[in-house]
Amino acid sequence: MTAARAYLDWNASAPLLPEARSAMVAAFECVGNPSSVHAEGRRARGIVETARAQIARLVGARPEQVILTSGATEANATVLAGEWHALFVSAMEHDSILAGASASPARSSALDAGADGVVKLASVGRAAEAVANRTDRQLVCLQLANNETGVIQPVAEAVALARQARMHVLCDATQAVGRLEVDFAALGVDYMTFSSHKIGGPKGAGALVVRDDAPLNPLIGGGGQERRQRAGTENVAAIAGFGAAAEAACQRLADWRALASRRDALEARLREVAPDAVILGAASSRLPNTSLVAWPGRRAETLLAMLDLGGVAVSSGAACASGKVTESHVLRAMGCAPDVAGSAIRISIGPETSDREIEMLVAAFEAINRRPARAA
């Protein structure tokens, strides 16, 4: 018998929903290529288009605005590979945005963050003023919710500022979609990106939602798939799973909303058993499922390893590459002291998280707290 585990790393990847699994299993039976005109091809096309409509509905977009990709990373890279003259990028963006910005020949400037984990709107305002009279293409990158802290960013307000200067806006909504109500049309952004596996779909599928008049240069050329915006035969089964997860997510928003009080109770328990622990970003509006807990005097990688041995899966602030935790650029942007940033672990739950899993976490914290800080 395998030992019980507590999976508290939903921001890294959420468990596959049964609806997504069934849709994928059914799609595996479909032999056709969606680009083929025969009955088998049309069946595959039907699966892709049903999923596209489900994904569009989840974010308040029209199906024809949705380009299916291999994930948020590819979607972000596609937008950033466009012909931009200047980029204004929140300092707390995901690495896929930061990497795309540094690969771009465009001049890139950082939008500052406050200690509360919220981007400073004044820095967006300054960017808009600086480019107000320019006619070339400018892009602002601002995520909807941060993957480490869960802090929700003022995207609608940033869009209002950016519009005055005719700047385009890319919103990485990967951590927000399915967890908060997200409305592409109401938010007014030009581009929105997200990944299937954060909402209970399979890994390796995602979407780029594009406003009708926004410029886009395809990253991958070849066949005419995705209205010539993204070549390559569609991953029909993954797309089917993504669509089914999106449909289920529409029904699960209330369950996600209800998670906030469980998350608050969990944080209160952790503070009880580990009085030195600090919750980062707690004064700001956050995703209902995310707690970034710093434990000054301890090391995140040691805490991760001890929790893992105790059966609890969490992650460090930033996803750690092959077990090595690097300093989090998000916490650096928030001005966190190195002993705070270096001790931060991210706990992220979901509607199926059980009380038993939370108790395992609390018990593991209690056990670690009994050890001298040096040892953990």
What amino acid positions are annotated as catalytic residues?
A: 320
Q: Is 195 in the site for ligand PMP (CB under 6 A)?
A: yes
Q: What are phi and psi of 239, to 5 degrees?
A: -65, -40
CA–CA distance, 350 with 355 (Å, rounded to integer): 12
DSSP run (H or E) holding 311? none
In this structure, what are the phi and psi dihedrals at residue 359, rounded to the nearest 5 degrees? Answer: -65, -35
The least distance separating ligand PMP from the CB of residue 108, rounded to whole angstroms, comes to: 17
Q: Which is nearer to ligand PMP, 287 or 358 (CB)?
A: 287
Q: How many other CB atoms are there within 10 angstroms of residue 225's CB atom?
A: 19
- Return the structure tokens found at 152: 């929700």
Q: Is 172 among the residues that bind ligand PMP (CB under 6 A)?
A: yes
Q: Which of 140, 146, 202 is nearest to 173 (CA)?
A: 146
Residue 96 binds ligand PMP, judged by CB under 6 A: yes
Distances (CA, A) of 271 to 274, 295, 296, 298, 343: 5, 10, 13, 15, 15
Q: How many residues bind ligand PMP (CB under 6 A)?
A: 13
**Nearest CA among 178, 156, 318 for reference residue 242:** 178
Q: Min. distance of Cβ 4 from ligand PMP in angstroms?
A: 26
Check residue 148 for interaction with ligand PMP (CB under 6 A). no
Residue range at the interface with ligand PMP (CB under 6 A); choices 54-62, 169-177, 233-241, 343-351: 169-177
Near ligand PMP by CB under 6 A: residue from 24, 56, 66, 71: 71
CB of 37 to ligand PMP, least distance (A): 32
> What distance in Å separates the CA atoms of residue 67 and residue 152, rounded to the nearest whole number?
25
Minimal distance in Å, beta carbon 369 to ligand PMP?
A: 29
Angle at Cα 107 formed by Cα 93 and Cα 149, nearest 5°? 10
Is residue 348 a contact point for ligand PMP (CB under 6 A)? no
Binding segment (CB under 6 A) for ligand PMP, from list 121-129, 157-165, 167-175, 276-284: 167-175
d(Cα 76, Cα 298) in Å, to the nearest integer?
34
- Residue pair 72/195 in contact (Cβ under 8 Å)? The answer is yes
Q: Is 302 in the site for ligand PMP (CB under 6 A)?
A: no
Query: Distance between the two ends of the chain, CA-based, in angstroms?
Result: 29
Q: What is the DSSP letter of 324?
A: B
Determine if 147 is a binding residue for ligand PMP (CB under 6 A): yes
Alpha-helical regions (H) of 36-120: 39-58, 72-80, 95-103
Nearer to ligand PMP, 54 or 76 (CB): 76
Q: Which is nearer to ligand PMP, 96 or 343 (CB)?
A: 96
Report the residue number, 172 or 247, with the smaller CB distance to ligand PMP: 172
211 is a contact residue toward ligand PMP (CB under 6 A): no
Tell me how far, at minimum, the Cβ of 372 lies from ligand PMP, in Å: 34
Which residue's structure tokens are 């569609």? 234
Minimum CB distance to ligand PMP, residue 196 (Å) = 8
Q: Which is nearer to ligand PMP, 143 or 289 (CB)?
A: 143
- Nearest position to ligand PMP, beta carbon: 71
Which residues are at the interface with ligand PMP (CB under 6 A)? 71-73, 94, 96, 143, 147, 172, 174-175, 195, 197, 206
